[in-house]
Structure 1
Amino acid sequence: MSTPLSLQGAGLGLRRGLLPELLTMAPGAVDFLECAPDNWIGVGGTYGEGLAHLAERYPLACHGLSLSLGGPAPLDHAFLRQIRDFLERYHVPLFSEHLSYCADDGHLYDLIPMPFTDEAVRHTAARIKEVQDALGRRIAVENISYYAAPYQAMSEIDFLRAVLDEADCDLLLDINNVIVNACNHRYDAADFLARVPAERVACLHVAGHYDEAPDLKIDTHGASVKADVWSLLARAYQHLGSVPTLLERDFNLPPLPELLTEVDYIRELQIAAQVPEVRHG
Protein backbone atom coordinates (compact mmCIF):
# COMPACT_ATOMS: atom_id res chain seq x y z
CA MET A 1 0.00 0.00 0.00
CA SER A 2 2.75 2.45 0.86
CA THR A 3 5.08 4.07 -1.66
CA PRO A 4 8.75 4.05 -0.60
CA LEU A 5 9.94 7.57 0.05
CA SER A 6 12.74 8.77 -2.20
CA LEU A 7 12.89 12.38 -1.07
CA GLN A 8 16.10 13.62 0.47
CA GLY A 9 17.92 16.87 1.12
CA ALA A 10 16.33 20.30 0.74
CA GLY A 11 13.42 21.27 -1.47
CA LEU A 12 11.44 24.29 -2.60
CA GLY A 13 7.75 24.92 -3.14
CA LEU A 14 6.73 25.00 -6.80
CA ARG A 15 4.76 28.21 -7.31
CA ARG A 16 3.54 29.44 -10.68
CA GLY A 17 5.27 32.78 -10.15
CA LEU A 18 8.59 30.96 -9.88
CA LEU A 19 8.08 28.65 -12.84
CA PRO A 20 10.26 30.49 -15.41
CA GLU A 21 13.18 30.71 -12.97
CA LEU A 22 12.77 27.10 -11.78
CA LEU A 23 12.94 25.87 -15.35
CA THR A 24 16.31 27.56 -15.89
CA MET A 25 17.98 26.98 -12.50
CA ALA A 26 21.20 25.03 -12.34
CA PRO A 27 21.00 21.24 -11.91
CA GLY A 28 21.17 20.30 -8.24
CA ALA A 29 20.06 23.73 -7.03
CA VAL A 30 17.30 21.92 -5.11
CA ASP A 31 16.87 18.25 -4.26
CA PHE A 32 13.11 18.14 -4.79
CA LEU A 33 10.07 20.32 -5.47
CA GLU A 34 6.64 20.33 -3.86
CA CYS A 35 3.34 21.39 -5.37
CA ALA A 36 -0.32 21.44 -4.37
CA PRO A 37 -2.08 19.06 -6.79
CA ASP A 38 -5.30 21.05 -6.21
CA ASN A 39 -3.66 23.89 -8.19
CA TRP A 40 -2.22 21.75 -10.99
CA ILE A 41 -4.70 18.98 -11.80
CA GLY A 42 -5.97 19.50 -15.34
CA VAL A 43 -3.63 22.41 -16.02
CA GLY A 44 -2.28 22.43 -19.57
CA GLY A 45 -0.50 24.90 -21.80
CA THR A 46 2.73 26.54 -20.71
CA TYR A 47 2.16 25.79 -17.02
CA GLY A 48 1.37 22.13 -17.63
CA GLU A 49 4.43 21.72 -19.85
CA GLY A 50 6.59 23.45 -17.25
CA LEU A 51 5.37 21.13 -14.51
CA ALA A 52 6.07 18.08 -16.67
CA HIS A 53 9.62 19.26 -17.41
CA LEU A 54 10.36 19.88 -13.74
CA ALA A 55 8.89 16.53 -12.72
CA GLU A 56 11.36 14.86 -15.09
CA ARG A 57 14.30 16.65 -13.45
CA TYR A 58 13.36 16.56 -9.76
CA PRO A 59 11.40 14.33 -7.39
CA LEU A 60 7.98 15.94 -6.90
CA ALA A 61 6.24 15.88 -3.53
CA CYS A 62 2.57 16.84 -3.27
CA HIS A 63 0.89 18.79 -0.47
CA GLY A 64 -2.90 18.88 -0.62
CA LEU A 65 -5.04 21.86 0.34
CA SER A 66 -8.68 20.87 0.18
CA LEU A 67 -9.43 17.30 1.31
CA SER A 68 -10.70 18.63 4.66
CA LEU A 69 -9.51 15.60 6.60
CA GLY A 70 -11.26 16.65 9.79
CA GLY A 71 -14.43 17.99 8.22
CA PRO A 72 -18.02 16.77 8.57
CA ALA A 73 -18.87 16.40 4.86
CA PRO A 74 -18.18 13.13 3.03
CA LEU A 75 -14.81 12.92 1.34
CA ASP A 76 -14.80 13.81 -2.36
CA HIS A 77 -13.90 10.49 -4.00
CA ALA A 78 -14.04 11.89 -7.51
CA PHE A 79 -11.36 14.38 -6.49
CA LEU A 80 -9.39 11.63 -4.75
CA ARG A 81 -9.32 9.69 -8.02
CA GLN A 82 -7.94 12.78 -9.75
CA ILE A 83 -5.27 13.10 -7.07
CA ARG A 84 -4.34 9.43 -7.40
CA ASP A 85 -3.96 9.80 -11.16
CA PHE A 86 -1.80 12.91 -10.66
CA LEU A 87 0.44 11.16 -8.12
CA GLU A 88 0.88 8.16 -10.39
CA ARG A 89 1.47 10.26 -13.50
CA TYR A 90 4.33 12.18 -11.87
CA HIS A 91 5.67 9.28 -9.75
CA VAL A 92 5.14 11.30 -6.58
CA PRO A 93 6.85 9.68 -3.55
CA LEU A 94 5.03 11.66 -0.85
CA PHE A 95 1.52 13.05 -0.53
CA SER A 96 0.56 15.09 2.51
CA GLU A 97 -2.47 17.01 3.73
CA HIS A 98 -3.32 19.29 6.64
CA LEU A 99 -4.59 18.03 9.98
CA SER A 100 -7.58 20.35 9.89
CA TYR A 101 -10.81 20.93 8.03
CA CYS A 102 -11.49 23.51 5.36
CA ALA A 103 -14.99 22.77 4.08
CA ASP A 104 -18.54 22.59 5.41
CA ASP A 105 -21.19 22.76 2.70
CA GLY A 106 -18.63 24.61 0.60
CA HIS A 107 -14.98 25.59 0.95
CA LEU A 108 -14.08 27.89 3.82
CA TYR A 109 -10.76 28.97 2.23
CA ASP A 110 -8.90 28.57 5.49
CA LEU A 111 -7.46 25.77 7.61
CA ILE A 112 -9.72 25.40 10.64
CA PRO A 113 -8.21 23.76 13.74
CA MET A 114 -9.67 20.60 15.16
CA PRO A 115 -10.97 20.25 18.72
CA PHE A 116 -8.42 18.16 20.60
CA THR A 117 -10.77 15.40 21.74
CA ASP A 118 -10.98 11.61 21.54
CA GLU A 119 -14.01 11.92 19.26
CA ALA A 120 -12.06 14.15 16.86
CA VAL A 121 -9.18 11.67 16.89
CA ARG A 122 -11.46 8.80 15.88
CA HIS A 123 -13.32 10.86 13.27
CA THR A 124 -10.20 12.26 11.62
CA ALA A 125 -8.26 9.00 11.75
CA ALA A 126 -11.11 7.16 10.02
CA ARG A 127 -11.10 9.72 7.22
CA ILE A 128 -7.32 9.52 6.86
CA LYS A 129 -7.65 5.74 6.51
CA GLU A 130 -10.32 6.29 3.86
CA VAL A 131 -7.99 8.62 1.96
CA GLN A 132 -5.11 6.15 2.21
CA ASP A 133 -7.32 3.39 0.84
CA ALA A 134 -8.51 5.61 -2.01
CA LEU A 135 -4.98 6.69 -2.95
CA GLY A 136 -3.44 3.26 -2.41
CA ARG A 137 -0.63 4.66 -0.26
CA ARG A 138 0.28 6.05 3.14
CA ILE A 139 -0.07 9.78 3.47
CA ALA A 140 1.46 12.30 5.86
CA VAL A 141 -0.55 14.86 7.81
CA GLU A 142 0.76 18.30 8.72
CA ASN A 143 0.43 20.09 12.05
CA ILE A 144 -1.22 23.43 11.25
CA SER A 145 -0.85 26.88 12.80
CA TYR A 146 -3.99 28.09 14.56
CA TYR A 147 -5.09 31.14 16.56
CA ALA A 148 -8.49 30.31 18.07
CA ALA A 149 -8.25 27.12 20.12
CA PRO A 150 -11.36 24.89 20.01
CA TYR A 151 -12.21 22.68 22.97
CA GLN A 152 -9.03 20.95 24.15
CA ALA A 153 -9.43 17.82 26.22
CA MET A 154 -5.77 17.04 25.48
CA SER A 155 -2.69 18.96 24.40
CA GLU A 156 -1.84 19.60 20.75
CA ILE A 157 1.03 17.10 20.78
CA ASP A 158 -1.13 14.42 22.45
CA PHE A 159 -3.83 14.96 19.83
CA LEU A 160 -1.28 14.77 17.03
CA ARG A 161 0.26 11.56 18.37
CA ALA A 162 -3.17 9.98 18.87
CA VAL A 163 -4.23 10.70 15.27
CA LEU A 164 -0.97 9.30 13.88
CA ASP A 165 -1.36 6.11 15.90
CA GLU A 166 -5.07 5.63 15.21
CA ALA A 167 -4.76 6.32 11.48
CA ASP A 168 -1.35 4.63 11.09
CA CYS A 169 -0.15 7.47 8.89
CA ASP A 170 2.97 9.61 8.67
CA LEU A 171 3.73 13.17 9.77
CA LEU A 172 4.81 16.22 7.83
CA LEU A 173 6.20 18.32 10.67
CA ASP A 174 6.01 22.05 10.04
CA ILE A 175 8.73 23.62 12.20
CA ASN A 176 7.45 27.15 11.65
CA ASN A 177 3.98 26.13 12.83
CA VAL A 178 5.47 24.72 16.03
CA ILE A 179 7.21 28.03 16.72
CA VAL A 180 4.06 30.04 15.92
CA ASN A 181 1.77 27.88 18.06
CA ALA A 182 4.23 27.64 20.93
CA CYS A 183 4.26 31.44 21.17
CA ASN A 184 0.55 31.98 20.67
CA HIS A 185 -0.62 29.15 22.92
CA ARG A 186 2.09 29.37 25.56
CA TYR A 187 3.90 26.05 25.33
CA ASP A 188 7.55 25.12 24.92
CA ALA A 189 8.51 24.38 21.31
CA ALA A 190 11.46 22.19 22.32
CA ASP A 191 9.25 20.08 24.60
CA PHE A 192 6.75 19.65 21.76
CA LEU A 193 9.53 18.57 19.40
CA ALA A 194 10.92 16.08 21.90
CA ARG A 195 7.56 14.27 21.94
CA VAL A 196 7.25 14.02 18.16
CA PRO A 197 7.49 10.33 17.17
CA ALA A 198 10.58 10.27 14.97
CA GLU A 199 9.53 7.08 13.18
CA ARG A 200 6.45 8.84 11.78
CA VAL A 201 8.18 11.91 10.31
CA ALA A 202 8.37 11.80 6.50
CA CYS A 203 9.27 15.43 5.78
CA LEU A 204 9.73 18.85 7.40
CA HIS A 205 8.54 22.30 6.36
CA VAL A 206 10.06 25.67 7.22
CA ALA A 207 8.63 29.06 6.34
CA GLY A 208 8.53 32.68 7.41
CA HIS A 209 6.17 34.30 9.91
CA TYR A 210 5.36 37.81 11.16
CA ASP A 211 5.91 38.92 14.75
CA GLU A 212 2.76 40.92 15.47
CA ALA A 213 3.63 41.29 19.17
CA PRO A 214 5.92 39.56 21.69
CA ASP A 215 3.12 37.09 22.41
CA LEU A 216 1.61 36.83 18.90
CA LYS A 217 3.10 35.37 15.75
CA ILE A 218 1.26 35.20 12.39
CA ASP A 219 2.06 32.37 9.99
CA THR A 220 2.44 34.16 6.65
CA HIS A 221 4.68 32.10 4.32
CA GLY A 222 5.53 35.51 2.91
CA ALA A 223 8.94 36.29 4.41
CA SER A 224 12.34 34.81 5.06
CA VAL A 225 12.70 32.12 7.70
CA LYS A 226 13.38 33.61 11.13
CA ALA A 227 16.19 32.72 13.52
CA ASP A 228 13.96 30.90 16.02
CA VAL A 229 12.68 28.59 13.25
CA TRP A 230 16.23 27.86 12.05
CA SER A 231 17.22 27.08 15.62
CA LEU A 232 14.36 24.63 16.12
CA LEU A 233 15.10 23.04 12.73
CA ALA A 234 18.68 22.36 13.82
CA ARG A 235 17.32 20.78 17.01
CA ALA A 236 14.87 18.74 14.95
CA TYR A 237 17.70 17.19 12.94
CA GLN A 238 19.33 16.10 16.20
CA HIS A 239 16.09 14.38 17.23
CA LEU A 240 14.87 13.10 13.86
CA GLY A 241 17.93 12.81 11.66
CA SER A 242 18.38 14.72 8.40
CA VAL A 243 14.77 14.44 7.27
CA PRO A 244 14.00 15.92 3.82
CA THR A 245 12.99 19.53 4.35
CA LEU A 246 11.03 21.97 2.22
CA LEU A 247 11.23 25.76 2.15
CA GLU A 248 7.73 27.22 1.72
CA ARG A 249 7.19 30.68 0.26
CA ASP A 250 3.72 31.55 -1.04
CA PHE A 251 3.82 35.29 -1.75
CA ASN A 252 6.18 38.28 -1.71
CA LEU A 253 8.34 36.02 -3.82
CA PRO A 254 11.93 37.30 -4.01
CA PRO A 255 14.33 36.46 -6.86
CA LEU A 256 15.06 32.75 -6.95
CA PRO A 257 18.71 33.13 -5.80
CA GLU A 258 17.46 34.52 -2.48
CA LEU A 259 15.28 31.46 -1.93
CA LEU A 260 18.11 29.14 -2.95
CA THR A 261 20.29 30.73 -0.28
CA GLU A 262 17.76 29.50 2.30
CA VAL A 263 17.63 26.09 0.63
CA ASP A 264 21.43 25.92 0.92
CA TYR A 265 21.21 26.81 4.61
CA ILE A 266 18.83 23.88 5.15
CA ARG A 267 21.49 21.65 3.59
CA GLU A 268 24.16 23.13 5.88
CA LEU A 269 22.08 22.30 8.93
CA GLN A 270 21.46 18.78 7.65
CA ILE A 271 25.17 18.21 7.10
CA ALA A 272 26.06 19.67 10.48
CA ALA A 273 23.65 17.25 12.15
CA GLN A 274 25.47 14.32 10.53
CA VAL A 275 28.94 15.36 11.72
CA PRO A 276 29.92 13.64 14.99
CA GLU A 277 30.50 16.03 17.84
CA VAL A 278 34.21 16.32 18.73
CA ARG A 279 34.87 15.91 22.42
CA HIS A 280 37.94 17.32 24.12
CA GLY A 281 39.50 16.35 27.37
Structure 2
Amino acid sequence: MNKAIGSVGLGLRREMLSEVLSSPSGQVDFYEVAPENWINLGGKFGNQFSRLTEQHNFVCHGLSLSLGATSPLDIEFLNALKGFFERHQIQCYSEHLSYCSGSGHMYDLMPIPFTEEAVKHTAKRIREVQERLERRIAVENVSYYAAPGQEMSELEFTLAVLQEADCDLLLDVNNIYVNSINHGYDAETFLKAMPTSRIAYGHVAGHYVEEQDLLIDTHGSDVCDPVWELLAKAYDYHGIFPTLLERDFNLPPMDVLLEEVTQIHTIQNAHSNMQVGIA
Protein backbone atom coordinates (compact mmCIF):
# COMPACT_ATOMS: atom_id res chain seq x y z
CA MET A 1 0.00 0.00 0.00
CA ASN A 2 1.05 3.56 -0.68
CA LYS A 3 1.11 4.85 2.90
CA ALA A 4 0.34 8.34 1.64
CA ILE A 5 -3.26 7.31 0.87
CA GLY A 6 -4.27 8.00 4.44
CA SER A 7 -3.91 6.87 8.01
CA VAL A 8 -7.27 5.49 9.16
CA GLY A 9 -9.65 3.10 7.42
CA LEU A 10 -12.97 1.35 7.97
CA GLY A 11 -14.23 -2.04 6.89
CA LEU A 12 -17.18 -1.60 4.52
CA ARG A 13 -20.26 -3.81 4.74
CA ARG A 14 -22.98 -3.90 2.10
CA GLU A 15 -25.54 -2.41 4.48
CA MET A 16 -23.32 0.64 4.88
CA LEU A 17 -23.17 1.54 1.17
CA SER A 18 -26.00 4.04 0.96
CA GLU A 19 -24.96 5.91 4.09
CA VAL A 20 -21.31 6.15 3.07
CA LEU A 21 -22.30 7.40 -0.38
CA SER A 22 -24.72 10.02 0.92
CA SER A 23 -22.72 11.14 3.96
CA PRO A 24 -19.03 10.27 3.55
CA SER A 25 -16.92 10.91 6.63
CA GLY A 26 -13.79 13.00 6.44
CA GLN A 27 -12.43 10.83 9.26
CA VAL A 28 -12.12 7.78 6.97
CA ASP A 29 -9.17 7.81 4.60
CA PHE A 30 -9.73 4.39 3.02
CA TYR A 31 -12.16 1.47 3.04
CA GLU A 32 -11.58 -2.26 3.09
CA VAL A 33 -13.73 -5.01 1.57
CA ALA A 34 -13.49 -8.77 1.17
CA PRO A 35 -13.31 -9.18 -2.62
CA GLU A 36 -15.27 -12.46 -2.50
CA ASN A 37 -18.31 -10.50 -1.33
CA TRP A 38 -18.13 -7.89 -4.10
CA ILE A 39 -16.44 -9.38 -7.16
CA ASN A 40 -19.66 -10.59 -8.84
CA LEU A 41 -21.95 -7.96 -7.38
CA GLY A 42 -24.22 -6.24 -9.87
CA GLY A 43 -27.38 -4.18 -9.86
CA LYS A 44 -27.90 -1.39 -7.35
CA PHE A 45 -25.18 -2.54 -4.95
CA GLY A 46 -22.67 -3.03 -7.75
CA ASN A 47 -23.31 0.46 -9.07
CA GLN A 48 -23.00 1.96 -5.60
CA PHE A 49 -19.73 0.13 -5.03
CA SER A 50 -18.30 1.38 -8.33
CA ARG A 51 -19.23 4.94 -7.42
CA LEU A 52 -17.47 4.58 -4.09
CA THR A 53 -14.26 3.14 -5.53
CA GLU A 54 -14.15 6.06 -7.96
CA GLN A 55 -14.32 8.52 -5.06
CA HIS A 56 -12.32 6.83 -2.29
CA ASN A 57 -9.22 4.71 -1.68
CA PHE A 58 -9.90 1.00 -1.25
CA VAL A 59 -7.98 -2.06 -0.08
CA CYS A 60 -9.05 -5.71 -0.19
CA HIS A 61 -8.75 -8.33 2.54
CA GLY A 62 -9.32 -11.83 1.17
CA LEU A 63 -11.12 -14.76 2.78
CA SER A 64 -10.68 -17.76 0.52
CA LEU A 65 -7.25 -17.87 -1.13
CA SER A 66 -6.23 -20.56 1.37
CA LEU A 67 -2.51 -19.86 1.30
CA GLY A 68 -1.57 -22.79 3.53
CA ALA A 69 -3.65 -25.46 1.78
CA THR A 70 -2.23 -28.42 -0.12
CA SER A 71 -4.83 -28.16 -2.90
CA PRO A 72 -3.75 -26.18 -5.99
CA LEU A 73 -4.28 -22.44 -6.06
CA ASP A 74 -7.52 -21.39 -7.75
CA ILE A 75 -6.10 -19.77 -10.90
CA GLU A 76 -9.52 -18.77 -12.23
CA PHE A 77 -10.20 -16.95 -8.98
CA LEU A 78 -6.80 -15.23 -9.10
CA ASN A 79 -7.50 -14.02 -12.64
CA ALA A 80 -10.85 -12.65 -11.51
CA LEU A 81 -9.17 -10.90 -8.59
CA LYS A 82 -6.63 -9.27 -10.86
CA GLY A 83 -9.39 -7.82 -13.03
CA PHE A 84 -11.36 -6.67 -10.00
CA PHE A 85 -8.32 -4.89 -8.53
CA GLU A 86 -7.61 -3.11 -11.80
CA ARG A 87 -11.24 -2.14 -12.33
CA HIS A 88 -11.62 -0.61 -8.88
CA GLN A 89 -8.07 0.76 -8.38
CA ILE A 90 -7.49 -1.42 -5.30
CA GLN A 91 -4.46 -0.07 -3.44
CA CYS A 92 -3.49 -3.23 -1.54
CA TYR A 93 -4.53 -6.88 -1.29
CA SER A 94 -4.05 -8.87 1.90
CA GLU A 95 -4.87 -12.43 2.90
CA HIS A 96 -4.79 -14.54 6.05
CA LEU A 97 -1.78 -16.64 6.99
CA SER A 98 -4.01 -19.70 7.21
CA TYR A 99 -5.99 -22.11 5.05
CA CYS A 100 -9.66 -22.76 4.46
CA SER A 101 -9.80 -25.58 1.89
CA GLY A 102 -9.01 -29.25 1.57
CA SER A 103 -11.36 -31.72 -0.05
CA GLY A 104 -13.83 -28.83 -0.01
CA HIS A 105 -14.09 -25.21 1.06
CA MET A 106 -14.45 -24.49 4.77
CA TYR A 107 -15.91 -21.34 6.25
CA ASP A 108 -13.29 -21.11 8.98
CA LEU A 109 -9.66 -20.03 8.89
CA MET A 110 -7.56 -22.98 10.03
CA PRO A 111 -4.04 -22.65 11.47
CA ILE A 112 -1.11 -23.65 9.30
CA PRO A 113 1.23 -26.03 11.18
CA PHE A 114 4.21 -24.10 12.53
CA THR A 115 6.85 -26.19 10.73
CA GLU A 116 9.75 -25.56 8.35
CA GLU A 117 7.97 -27.58 5.67
CA ALA A 118 4.88 -25.39 6.01
CA VAL A 119 7.01 -22.24 5.79
CA LYS A 120 8.46 -23.29 2.45
CA HIS A 121 5.12 -24.55 1.11
CA THR A 122 3.18 -21.42 2.10
CA ALA A 123 5.88 -19.02 0.95
CA LYS A 124 6.02 -20.71 -2.46
CA ARG A 125 2.27 -20.22 -2.85
CA ILE A 126 2.49 -16.57 -1.81
CA ARG A 127 5.23 -15.97 -4.38
CA GLU A 128 3.07 -17.57 -7.09
CA VAL A 129 0.12 -15.39 -6.10
CA GLN A 130 2.29 -12.29 -6.33
CA GLU A 131 3.57 -13.30 -9.75
CA ARG A 132 0.08 -13.99 -11.11
CA LEU A 133 -1.41 -10.80 -9.68
CA GLU A 134 1.71 -8.81 -10.67
CA ARG A 135 1.70 -7.08 -7.29
CA ARG A 136 3.01 -7.60 -3.78
CA ILE A 137 0.46 -8.86 -1.30
CA ALA A 138 0.31 -8.63 2.47
CA VAL A 139 -0.36 -11.58 4.76
CA GLU A 140 -2.06 -11.15 8.12
CA ASN A 141 -0.90 -12.63 11.40
CA VAL A 142 -4.01 -14.58 12.39
CA SER A 143 -5.69 -15.65 15.60
CA TYR A 144 -5.58 -19.40 16.26
CA TYR A 145 -6.75 -21.70 19.02
CA ALA A 146 -4.59 -24.80 18.51
CA ALA A 147 -1.19 -25.45 16.95
CA PRO A 148 -1.09 -29.00 15.54
CA GLY A 149 2.34 -30.40 14.77
CA GLN A 150 4.11 -27.33 16.16
CA GLU A 151 7.89 -27.25 15.64
CA MET A 152 8.44 -23.51 16.02
CA SER A 153 6.73 -20.59 17.69
CA GLU A 154 4.07 -18.45 16.00
CA LEU A 155 6.58 -15.60 15.95
CA GLU A 156 9.29 -17.69 14.30
CA PHE A 157 6.83 -19.06 11.76
CA THR A 158 5.42 -15.65 10.84
CA LEU A 159 8.83 -14.06 10.39
CA ALA A 160 10.08 -17.03 8.35
CA VAL A 161 7.12 -16.92 5.93
CA LEU A 162 7.48 -13.16 5.42
CA GLN A 163 11.19 -13.55 4.68
CA GLU A 164 10.88 -16.63 2.45
CA ALA A 165 7.95 -15.22 0.46
CA ASP A 166 9.29 -11.65 0.35
CA CYS A 167 5.79 -10.28 0.91
CA ASP A 168 4.27 -7.56 3.06
CA LEU A 169 2.53 -7.79 6.44
CA LEU A 170 -0.97 -6.85 7.51
CA LEU A 171 -0.32 -6.29 11.21
CA ASP A 172 -3.42 -7.25 13.19
CA VAL A 173 -2.97 -5.83 16.68
CA ASN A 174 -6.08 -7.50 18.08
CA ASN A 175 -4.90 -10.91 16.89
CA ILE A 176 -1.60 -10.44 18.70
CA TYR A 177 -3.46 -9.59 21.90
CA VAL A 178 -5.92 -12.49 21.55
CA ASN A 179 -3.14 -15.00 20.87
CA SER A 180 -1.01 -13.66 23.73
CA ILE A 181 -3.83 -14.36 26.20
CA ASN A 182 -4.81 -17.71 24.70
CA HIS A 183 -1.27 -19.05 24.35
CA GLY A 184 0.50 -17.26 27.18
CA TYR A 185 3.14 -15.17 25.44
CA ASP A 186 4.14 -11.52 25.73
CA ALA A 187 2.24 -9.40 23.19
CA GLU A 188 4.78 -6.58 23.14
CA THR A 189 7.65 -8.96 22.40
CA PHE A 190 5.76 -10.34 19.40
CA LEU A 191 4.74 -6.87 18.25
CA LYS A 192 8.24 -5.43 18.51
CA ALA A 193 9.71 -8.31 16.47
CA MET A 194 7.52 -7.62 13.44
CA PRO A 195 9.50 -6.25 10.46
CA THR A 196 8.70 -2.55 10.21
CA SER A 197 9.59 -2.28 6.53
CA ARG A 198 7.05 -4.95 5.58
CA ILE A 199 4.01 -3.43 7.34
CA ALA A 200 1.49 -2.41 4.67
CA TYR A 201 -1.26 -1.47 7.11
CA GLY A 202 -2.83 -2.62 10.36
CA HIS A 203 -6.09 -3.86 11.87
CA VAL A 204 -7.76 -3.27 15.21
CA ALA A 205 -10.98 -5.00 16.22
CA GLY A 206 -13.03 -6.26 19.11
CA HIS A 207 -13.19 -9.81 20.47
CA TYR A 208 -15.35 -11.95 22.74
CA VAL A 209 -14.21 -12.97 26.22
CA GLU A 210 -15.22 -16.64 26.60
CA GLU A 211 -13.06 -17.16 29.69
CA GLN A 212 -10.32 -15.19 31.39
CA ASP A 213 -7.75 -17.15 29.40
CA LEU A 214 -9.83 -17.72 26.24
CA LEU A 215 -10.59 -14.85 23.86
CA ILE A 216 -12.44 -15.38 20.58
CA ASP A 217 -11.57 -13.13 17.65
CA THR A 218 -15.06 -12.08 16.52
CA HIS A 219 -14.85 -8.51 15.13
CA GLY A 220 -18.27 -8.11 16.72
CA SER A 221 -17.67 -5.74 19.62
CA ASP A 222 -15.87 -2.56 20.62
CA VAL A 223 -12.08 -2.45 20.73
CA CYS A 224 -10.95 -2.97 24.34
CA ASP A 225 -8.47 -0.80 26.23
CA PRO A 226 -5.56 -3.31 26.13
CA VAL A 227 -5.80 -3.44 22.32
CA TRP A 228 -5.82 0.37 22.10
CA GLU A 229 -2.74 0.40 24.33
CA LEU A 230 -1.05 -2.22 22.14
CA LEU A 231 -1.80 -0.11 19.04
CA ALA A 232 -0.03 2.82 20.67
CA LYS A 233 2.94 0.53 21.34
CA ALA A 234 2.87 -0.54 17.68
CA TYR A 235 3.32 3.09 16.63
CA ASP A 236 6.13 3.44 19.18
CA TYR A 237 7.98 0.48 17.66
CA HIS A 238 7.15 0.86 13.98
CA GLY A 239 6.04 4.45 13.43
CA ILE A 240 2.54 5.38 12.31
CA PHE A 241 1.10 3.07 9.67
CA PRO A 242 -2.37 3.08 8.04
CA THR A 243 -4.77 1.40 10.47
CA LEU A 244 -8.24 0.03 9.84
CA LEU A 245 -11.15 -0.62 12.19
CA GLU A 246 -12.73 -4.05 11.58
CA ARG A 247 -16.35 -4.63 12.54
CA ASP A 248 -18.09 -7.57 10.87
CA PHE A 249 -21.35 -7.94 12.81
CA ASN A 250 -23.33 -6.39 15.68
CA LEU A 251 -22.84 -3.22 13.67
CA PRO A 252 -23.64 -0.08 15.67
CA PRO A 253 -24.83 3.16 14.05
CA MET A 254 -22.24 4.88 11.88
CA ASP A 255 -21.64 7.64 14.41
CA VAL A 256 -20.65 5.02 17.00
CA LEU A 257 -18.27 3.32 14.55
CA LEU A 258 -16.73 6.69 13.80
CA GLU A 259 -16.00 7.20 17.51
CA GLU A 260 -13.54 4.30 17.26
CA VAL A 261 -12.16 5.68 13.99
CA THR A 262 -11.58 8.93 15.88
CA GLN A 263 -9.80 6.98 18.61
CA ILE A 264 -7.29 5.70 16.04
CA HIS A 265 -6.71 9.27 14.86
CA THR A 266 -6.23 10.36 18.49
CA ILE A 267 -3.57 7.72 19.13
CA GLN A 268 -1.81 8.56 15.87
CA ASN A 269 -1.87 12.29 16.64
CA ALA A 270 -0.53 11.70 20.15
CA HIS A 271 2.34 9.71 18.69
CA SER A 272 3.04 12.41 16.09
CA ASN A 273 3.08 15.12 18.76
CA MET A 274 5.38 13.03 20.92
CA GLN A 275 7.81 12.59 18.04
CA VAL A 276 7.76 16.31 17.32
CA GLY A 277 8.49 17.00 20.98
CA ILE A 278 11.43 14.62 20.94
CA ALA A 279 12.79 16.24 17.79
Shorter-chain TM-score: which interval? Answer: over 0.9
Q: CA RMSD in A?
A: 1.3
What is the deviation of 1:46? Answer: 1.1
Deviations along 1:24-81, one digit per CA (max 9) or x if unpaired, are: 2245231000001111012111111111111122100001100000001000010000
User: SS state of the match for residue 94, structure 1?
Assistant: strand
**How far apart are residue 14 of structure 1 and its match?**
0.9
Residues 1:56 and 2:57 aligned together: no
Q: Give per-residue Cα distances to partners, 1:199-229, cap 9 Å, x unaligned.
A: 1111100100011111111111000111111
Distance 2:270 2:55 in 1: 27
Q: How does 1:120-131 map to 2 (within 5 A)?
A: 120-131=118-129
How far did 1:251 drift? 0.4
Q: 1:271 aligns with which of 265, 269, 272?
A: 269
Q: Is the 8 A contact 2:114 2:151 kept in 1?
A: yes
- CA offset digits 1:82-141 (Å, max 9, x no partner): 000011111111000000000012111100001111000000000000000010000000
Task: Give the aligned partner of residue 156 of structure 1.
Answer: 154
User: Are residues 1:110 and 2:108 paired?
Assistant: yes
Displacement of 1:4: 4.7
What TM-score do you get using the length of structure 1 for normalisation?
A: 0.96
Aligned with 2:95 (options 97, 100, 113): 97
Matches within 5 A, 1:178-189: 178-189=176-187
| Residues 148-191 of structure 1: CA deviation (Å, up to 9, x unaligned) | 22222111111000000000000001101000000000001011
How far apart are 1:143 and its partner, in Å?
0.8
Gaps of 5+ in 2: none
**What runs of 5+ residues in structure 1 fail to find an aligned partner?**
none
Deviation at 1:7, TM superposition (A): 3.3
Tell me if the contact between 1:5 and 1:93 (Cα under 8 Å) persists in the aligned partners. no
Structure 1 position 190 matched with structure 2 position 188:
yes
After TM superposition, where is structure 1 displaced by more than 6 Å over at least 4 residues in a row? none
Kept after mapping to 2: 8 A contact 1:205/1:248: yes
| TM-score, with structure 2 as normaliser | 0.96
Higher helix share: 2
Match of 2:78 in 1: 80
